[in-house]
Amino acid sequence: MSDQVTDVIDVEDRERLIEEISLLRGKVARLQERVEQLDQLAHQDSLIDVPNRRGFMRELERLIARVDRYALNGAMLFVDVDGLKMINDTFGHRAGDEALVQIADLLSKGVRHSDVVARIGGDEFGILLECADEGSAQETAARLIDQISACEFTHDGETLPLSVAIGVGMIDALDTAEAVMERADEAMYRRKAAA
């Protein structure tokens, strides 16, 4: 039995009931706000203002459902940052973090607002393209590779080269998120091996 004593409110005391309801609504609103904050923390990357792997998987599952239900085209781009270990080892982790922020910004600016860019691993990003066939997904990947290699990333006055490898995995109806990621990851490794 609980030791907590609750106030008993006379149901005839209309003014007191309204006051209690108002207090409870305020508590509920604060709790809902806190739940939203916790949900955002659980699905957002701690370094970069993009979704993390958990948030990405949620969005990928939603896109798979839309591809299945509406017979849309969709693709996942698996982005692997080249040379981040060298930047971290030579210039420190702050430089590596700055490089990741720069790359995330370039990726986000290089796709449509409706597309999803997320950090899915230490030096890996995922991009979801809705209403994109294989040709347009490959074009987007090539354009992003060029944009990143052409950027001038500087740390402490020194220009450091940035580059990425991107693999494209098309999304099929009734796909699983794991299968899509695996196809895109394999395509990225094939691209790296061919370079």
Contacts 24+ apart (CB under 8 A), 119-125: 119/45, 119/47, 119/48, 119/50, 119/51, 119/52, 119/53, 120/52, 120/53, 120/56, 120/181, 121/53, 122/84, 123/80, 123/81, 123/84, 123/85, 124/78, 124/79, 124/80, 124/81, 125/50, 125/79, 125/81
> Which pLDDT band holds residue 23 (cuts at 50, 70, 90)?
confident
Query: Does the pLDDT of residue 138 top 90, yes or no?
Result: yes
Residues 6+ apart with CB under 8 A from 47: 97, 100, 101, 119
Active site residue 123: yes
Where does the chain have alpha helices with state H?
A: 14-43, 53-70, 84-91, 93-109, 134-150, 177-194
Q: Is the dihedral of CA 15, 18, 24, 29 positive or negative?
A: negative
HSE value, Cβ hemisphere, 13 Å, CA-based, for 193: 6
Check residue 1 and give its pLDDT.
Answer: 42
pTM of the predicted model over 0.85: no
Residues 153-188 pLDDT 10s: 999 999 999 999 999 999 998 899 999 999 999 999
Residue 128 and residue 59 in contact, taking contact as beta carbons nearer than 8 Å: yes
Catalytic hit among 45, 80, 123, 185: 123
CA distance 117 to 113: 10
